[in-house]
Chains A and B, each alone.
Chain A
Amino acid sequence: MDQIIIFGIFMIVFTSLIVILNDRLSALSFLGLNLTIVALLYTESDLISAAIKAILGFFPPAIIVVATRRIKLARPAVGKAVAFIGIAVTVALSYAVAYAIRGVFPEDRLLESYFLIILFGMSILIIVSQTSIFKFLLGVLVLENIGTLILSWGYNSTVLTLIEEVFVVLIALTFAVIALLDFKEYATIDEKELTRLRG
């Protein structure tokens, strides 16, 4: 139980860093989140899934880092102070929602379910508080990690984990290409700017 709490806190910290930091450093935070999940899978003796996650989970942040070296980063939609308040409110609100619906959680996965709801809330925060397409991608990838954790509750789910991770790499690649093309054409990856420039 303590282990779950520690891993859960790590997850919240890493997702909070994604909200606060710029795209490049957020990608590294996301790598931290992935490694936390690898460790969690390892402790649950789901060794193959952990290995798949460790190998393929490295690629999305790497793709983002490589792509962001070629473009000017977008500015966050909100300031740091607002971001901190947003994180605190999101965690509190998510916890409250999780508490309210705890009746539907699997009995043997109660604690994990709380953290998943908080992660879900954080992914929403990541997406709505930013203007960069990469932050949008990271928000989606946090959602994907929720899927990985739910899959680890089943049995014989290794094939699905593999399929999911392969698709995550493809999604990250697609986003990177879109960002590069957008930057080439409009000299920005800021979604608000892009909407205005595209007319």
Chain B
Amino acid sequence: MPYALLAMIFTPIIFSVPILLVGRLTNSKALGYFSSIVALVTLGLASLFIVFYSGLISVTVSSITLSPYDIPLFTFTLDPLTLLFSFVVSFMGFITIWYSNSYMQNEGGQGRYYFLMLLFVGGMLMLVGAANVLILYAGWEIVGICSFLLVGFWFEEATRNEAAKKVFFFTHMPGEVLLLFAVGTYAWTGSGSIHNLLTSSLPEWQTSVLIIFALVAMFSKSAQFPFFSWLPSAMQGPTPVSALLHSATMVNAGVYLAARLFPLLGGNWQWVLAIVGGFTLILAATAAIRSNDLKEVLAYSTISNLGYMFLAFSFGPIGLVAGLMQFLAHAFFKCCLFLGAGAVDHAANTMDLNQLGGLSKRMPYTAASFTIAALALAGVPPLCGFVGKWLIYTSGISPSIAGLQIFVILVLIGSVLSAGYILRAAHSVFYGQLQEDLKGAHEAPRTMVTAQAILAAGCVLVGVFAQYPISLIMQVPGAGMVTTQSTVILTNIEIAGVASFAPTLAAALLLLAIAAGVLLNEYTTRRPHTAVSPSRELFGSGDKLPQGYEYSSGKHFLYEVTQPFERLKVLNPDSIYADLGRDAELASKRLRAAHNGNVIRYAIWIFIWMIIAGVVFLAFGGL
């Protein structure tokens, strides 16, 4: 089994290299087929673990002893948390790569694309399988670099390049604190083992420093407030990349880290998670309501759902189960939604909600899959999103520390908004009257449709048979006890440590919120998909109204109430990013004289700094 674990992690990484090399010679479709097979083998190995998992597996490939440190250089482990994430990563990896066979078939640079996709999957598997913080950091960086290169895949276009740079800056720079976290872990626990970190009794201030480093890293990677502004920019990459980035890799790295370090995140840290997660979920949901681009709506929806997960973790052991269930559900419905968006883009060549409409007549299969996933996102039972949200409500009503119940209000508002924005998006794209420009649109190729159908089926199956993933999640260290026969029958559920009325109240609140979202959205908006849109003519290009919201009798309620949040969106480090960019350019002009191309001179400088670092290291008595 240890070798199977290594094979699962390294199969995509190793096979990505020949794909890159062959891709230099040919742009053949065979590259995509071969990558799909590699991804399928990886998924097969992950599935084997799901079936045959019987206990913790650890494997140390390489270790080095530099007294007093025993540094395990390549150490991996497989526990229920790794199992959950590795299955989701490999599953979504396979689906998106398979989908790409059609979506990317006419694009150049296929070798580079599939190389990066496989490396992306491999890096994420390395991250979730890491047993020590250095490997975790290595996986973290591989994922970050791949996302940068994939978002900037069409690098010939300046806007995409700029977006890729922004993604890199916002995820990489704050992510560097994860390196500090790794160094601190080595220094204070005497080993880089994550297990040792979780079980050691460090002084409180040292634990606090490590947690602060970890929180900054996870919030930046998972696009939480204030580091959220990069994620909508990441939409500049190919749609399958967005699907993978949002559903299983990259942004979920922060969620994984939070779940892994969950035993350390008790007490006041729960408040930090609750405030950041709660604020982010509302801020992003309001942005999604106000957005008029399909992919942007989905991007803000990801940020909002990640906020749900962090908020859930703050509620305690049941919250951990809820957050991880939401992660699983989110992976399925979000990947399906993005692939649906890709199919729409493929057919209509636009993502603008105003220019779309009635596509279900031309794309019935895509419409069906998209609608199922949208209902899952809204939290409609018995789909997967319902289970995740319902558990979040339940854990929020009975959190492990008093006072956190207040955040259920944010969950409630978030549910109203999410039902509002996703059903608006689904309606604007697929229903109503078919737009004149879209008469020639056609259903996506079979590969793309099948990929979406599998994910839509997953949304149903994960929801109906939620007891199986829940029983796996309950084995994650720190998780609470939830037993259920089937989520279809809510009465057959037992949850340890929550008030007896909590599950029923949670279900009632969630259903009410969905109904409110649907009704508010339905009765305050007139859809733009009429043959002639009078208000569009009336307001022209200079209208004050967003194009997706056309007034019926009065004002659009959800749009109006979310107006104040528009101003809060500027509370992000974008201005710092712009200033740093300008300063870096100025500094580079001044430092250019020092870069004369004499490599030996460079080497001398490196040695000087190495010696200074060595002296400092020794002066402070080593680590």
**What is A's interface to B at a CB cutoff of 8 Å?**
101, 104, 106-109, 124, 127-128, 130-131, 133, 136, 139-140, 150-151, 153-160, 191-192, 194-195, 198
| B586 → A minimal CB distance (Å) | 23
B66 near A127 with CB under 8 A, answer no
Question: Contacts of A150 on B, CB cut-off 8 Å?
Answer: 64, 66
Q: Which of B63, B598, B618 contacts A104 (CB 8 A)?
A: B618
Contact A198 B597 (CB under 8 A): yes
In the bound complex, what is the Cα–Cα distance between A157 and B74 (angstroms)? 10
Interface of A is mostly: helix
Does the CB pair B604–A127 fall under 8 Å?
A: yes
CB pair B603–A156 under 8 Å, yes or no, is no
Q: Report, nearest first, the 8 A-B pairs whose CB atoms are least far apart.
A: A154-B64, A106-B67, A195-B598, A156-B62, A127-B603, A191-B600, A195-B596, A157-B62
Instruction: Please list the residues of chain B having a beta carbon within 8 angstroms of any beta carbon in chain A.
Output: 60-67, 71, 73-74, 596-601, 603-604, 607, 618, 622
Query: Is B599 a contact of A136 with CB atoms below 8 Å?
Result: yes
A156 to chain B: closest residue by CB: B62
Q: Are B65 and A131 in contact (CB under 8 A)?
A: no
Are A104 and B622 neighbours in the complex by a CB distance under 8 Å? yes
Whether B73 lies near A160 (C-beta < 8 A) is yes
A111 vs B73: C-alpha distance when bound (angstroms): 25
Query: Considering the chains assembled together, what is the distance between the CA atoms of A131 and B603 in angstroms?
Result: 12
Selected from A107, A158, A191, the residue in CB contact (under 8 A) with B67 is: A107
Specify which chain B residues have a CB less than 8 angstroms from the CB of A157 in the assembled complex.
62-64, 73
A-B contact pairs, 5 of them (CB 8 A): A106-B65, A109-B67, A128-B603, A156-B60, A198-B596
Give the CA-CA distance A126 to B210 in the complex, in Å: 41
Q: For A156, list chain B residues within 8 Å (CB).
A: 60-63
Contacts of A139 in B (CB 8 A): 603
Provide the bound-state CA to CA distance between A198 and B599, in Å. Answer: 13
Given contacts A104-B622, A109-B67, A160-B62, 12 further A-B contacts (CB under 8 A): A133-B599, A136-B600, A136-B603, A140-B603, A153-B64, A154-B71, A157-B63, A157-B73, A192-B598, A194-B597, A195-B596, A195-B598
Complex contact B600–A127 (CB within 8 A): yes
**A160: chain B residues within 8 A (beta carbon):** 62, 73-74
Measured between beta carbons, the chain B residues less than 8 angstroms from A195 are 596-598
Contact B66–A159 (Cβ < 8 Å): no
B65's contact among A133, A153, A194, by CB below 8 Å, is which? A153
B62 near A159 with CB under 8 A, answer: yes
For B73, what are the chain A residues with a Cβ–Cβ distance below 8 Å?
154, 157, 160
List the A side residues contacting B618 at CB < 8 Å.
Answer: 101, 104
How far in angstroms is the closest Cβ of chain B from A34?
21
CB distance from A99 to the nearest CB of B (A): 13
A101–B617 alpha-carbon span in the complex (Å):
11
B598 and A159 contact, CB distance less than 8 A: no
Chain B residues within an 8 Å CB radius of A127: 600, 603-604, 607
What residues of chain A lie closer than 8 Å to B604, measured between beta carbons?
127-128
Q: Are B62 and A154 in contact (CB under 8 A)?
A: yes
Q: Kindly list chain A residues whose C-beta atoms are within 8 Å of the C-beta of B601.
A: 191
Residues of B within 8 A of A159 (CB): 61-62, 74
Q: Could you tell me the distance in whole angstroms from the C-beta of B593 to the nearest C-beta in chain A?
A: 12
- Report the nearest A residue to B69, measured CB to CB: A106
Give Cα A154 to B63, complex, Å. Answer: 6
Nearest chain-A residue to B598 (Cβ)?
A195
Contact assessment for A124 and B598 in the assembled complex, using a CB-CB cutoff below 8 Å:
no
Complex: A18 Cα to B15 Cα, angstroms: 39
Distance to closest chain A CB from B21 (angstroms): 13
